[in-house]
Amino acid sequence: MTATARLPKPVTEAWHWQLQAACRDVNVSRFFHPENERGNARDNRERRAKSICRKCPVMQQCRAHALKAREPYGVWGGLGERERRDLIASGRTSWRRGRSGG
Asked if residue 23 belongs to a known ligand binding site, the reply is yes
Distance CA 32, CA 19 (A): 19
Asked if residue 69 belongs to a known ligand binding site, the reply is no
Torsion sign (Cα): 85, 24, 50, 99: negative
Asked if residue 22 belongs to a known ligand binding site, the reply is no
Asked if residue 62 belongs to a known ligand binding site, the reply is yes
With a CB cutoff of 8 Å and minimum separation 6, the contacts of 25 are none
The burial class, CB within 10 Å (0-12 / 13-18 / 19+), for 2 is: exposed
- Detail the residues annotated as belonging to a binding site for [4Fe-4S] cluster: 23, 53, 56, 62
**Which residues are documented as binding site?**
23, 53, 56, 62
